[in-house]
Amino acid sequence: MKKNYYMFNPGMLQRKDNTLKFTPVVEAENGAAVKEGQPRYLPVENVDDLYVFGSLTANSATYNFLGQNDIAVHFFDYYENYTGSFMPKDYLLAGKVIISQVAHYQKKNKRLTIAHKFIEGATHNMLTNLKYYNRRGKDLTSVMDTMEKYAEQISAADAVDKLMGIEGNIRQTYYEGFNLILNDFKMEQRTKQPPQNEVNALISFGNMMCYSLCLRAISHTQLNPTISYLHEPGYRRYSLALDIAEIFKPVLIDKVVFKVLNKKEIQSKHFDMKLNRCVLNESGKKIFVQAIEERLQETFQHRNLNRHVSYKHLVILECYKLSKHIMEIEEYKPFKMYW
């Protein structure tokens, strides 16, 4: 099975025959020179995506090789912000799908139907997280009641902007539950760009990881990632990935945040406060990324397929379902956690 590789150290990526060679680069103590570390070889048949958190040097021949082997590269800056991706050529794009995708955006009722589905799925998954911890002694009844009152308004929303307003109220209430779920950390309020405390730092970083995962999943289908239904399509962003990420942030990211903090896998020592922002330090990033990767590789019994699937593959299946809806083959039903 192919897997993701995460590059935290600066270095050089090269093609070496039919493998990838990554050579880390370390500054000498006097800062005047650099020295090469021990190279690592990655067989391309085992590589799905590369996530780059440090400085990476690579030439066009390397990127050509990556593209030929359908390997995407996702880049993050020092402050854990997602900055962009190198994506292989879209071999799967199909004219009929794009035409139908645009038609569903242009027709208000069709767009609104899909947008409703995204919010319904996201709300269900957020409530499922709260119910899980409520059963384990955290008193989240008030938070869930408020969320459910907002959720009752979803079906009546007759415009996407109204739907987004409802979603904002639901998510703000949901985040209030974090203060009750977490043992040693408090979220206080949601802050981003930049995050102001440890919980916000994890959520922001995790959400960007989820966004890049959804973008990659879309590339495995005939969908165009720039045509979306909940988030408004804009310049220079893949807004459909934002739509799909709404469903999976509670499933893939929030669950991991609760786990790493309550089990003390990540502690205060794994964060740095810099320039009025809170960021994970290198050791904290490695722990958090490893926890997310373990979640993606985790499998469960899929009700409809009657077989075990990984959470990573689940995101691709979600894109296939959306594609079938757009082509009017089968009604789209968002993924909803049932455990």
User: Which amino acid does the sequence have at 61?
Assistant: A
Residue 29 banded pLDDT, cuts 50, 70, 90: low
Provide mean pLDDT across the span 148-174: 95
Q: Among 151, 102, 115, which residue's Cα sits nearest to residue 247?
A: 115
Answer yes or no: is pLDDT of 192 > 90.
Answer: no
For residue 274, the 8-state DSSP code is: E
Cβ atoms 242, 232 nearer than 8 A? no
**Tokens of residue 22, six digits:** 């990554």
Q: Using a pLDDT cut of 90, give the percent of the chain over it.
A: 78
pLDDT for res 236: 62
Answer yes or no: is pLDDT of 50 > 90.
Answer: yes
Mean per-residue pLDDT of the chain: 92
This prediction's pTM: 0.90
| Cα→Cα distances 168→113, 171, 256, Å | 18, 5, 22
Give dist(CA 90, CA 224) in Å, integer: 9
Cβ atoms 13, 21 nearer than 8 A? yes
pLDDT for res 18: 87
Cβ atoms 229, 108 nearer than 8 A? no
Q: What are 201-227's pLDDT values in tens digits?
A: 999 999 999 999 999 999 999 999 999
pLDDT for res 235: 66
Fold that domain 3-86 belongs to in CATH: Ribosomal Protein L15; Chain: K; domain 2 (3.100.10)
Between 24-38, 56-70, 153-167, 283-297, the lowest mean confidence (pLDDT) is in 24-38
Give dist(CA 7, CA 24) in Å, integer: 9
pLDDT for res 258: 97
Write the CATH number of the domain with boundaries 95-326: 1.20.120.920
Residue that has been written with the tokens 């690592």 in this structure: 40
Cβ atoms 177, 140 nearer than 8 A? yes
Q: What are 230-249's pLDDT values in tens digits?
A: 999 876 678 999 999 999 99
Range list for CATH 3.100.10.20 in the chain: 3-86
Answer yes or no: is pLDDT of 188 > 90.
Answer: no
pLDDT for res 30: 59
Q: What are 53-67's pLDDT values in tens digits?
A: 988 999 999 999 999
Cβ atoms 227, 102 nearer than 8 A? yes
pLDDT for res 265: 97
Range list for CATH 1.20.120.920 in the chain: 95-326
Residue 288 banded pLDDT, cuts 50, 70, 90: very high
Answer yes or no: is pLDDT of 183 > 60.
Answer: yes
Distance of CA 293 to the CA centre of its chain: 11
pLDDT for res 28: 60
Answer yes or no: is pLDDT of 195 > 60.
Answer: yes
Residue 133 banded pLDDT, cuts 50, 70, 90: very high
pLDDT for res 273: 87
Give dist(CA 108, CA 111) in Å, integer: 5
Answer yes or no: is pLDDT of 181 > 70.
Answer: yes
> For residues 209, 253, 146 and 124, what is the CA-based torsion angle, rounded to 10 degrees?
100
The neighbouring-strand residues paired with 84 are: 75
Give dist(CA 135, CA 205) in Å, integer: 28
Give dist(CA 20, CA 28) in Å, integer: 25
Answer yes or no: is pLDDT of 128 > 90.
Answer: yes
Residue-level length of the chain: 339
H, E, C per residue of 9-57? CCEEEEEECCEEEEEEEEECCCCCCEEECCCEEEEHHHEEEEEECCCEE
Residue that has been written with the tokens 């009641």 in this structure: 145
Answer yes or no: is pLDDT of 93 > 90.
Answer: no
- Note the helical H segments in 59-186: 60-68, 95-106, 108-134, 141-151, 160-176, 178-181
Answer yes or no: is pLDDT of 32 > 60.
Answer: no
Provide mean pLDDT across the span 30-36: 62
Beta strand pairing call for 11-16 and 3-7: unpaired
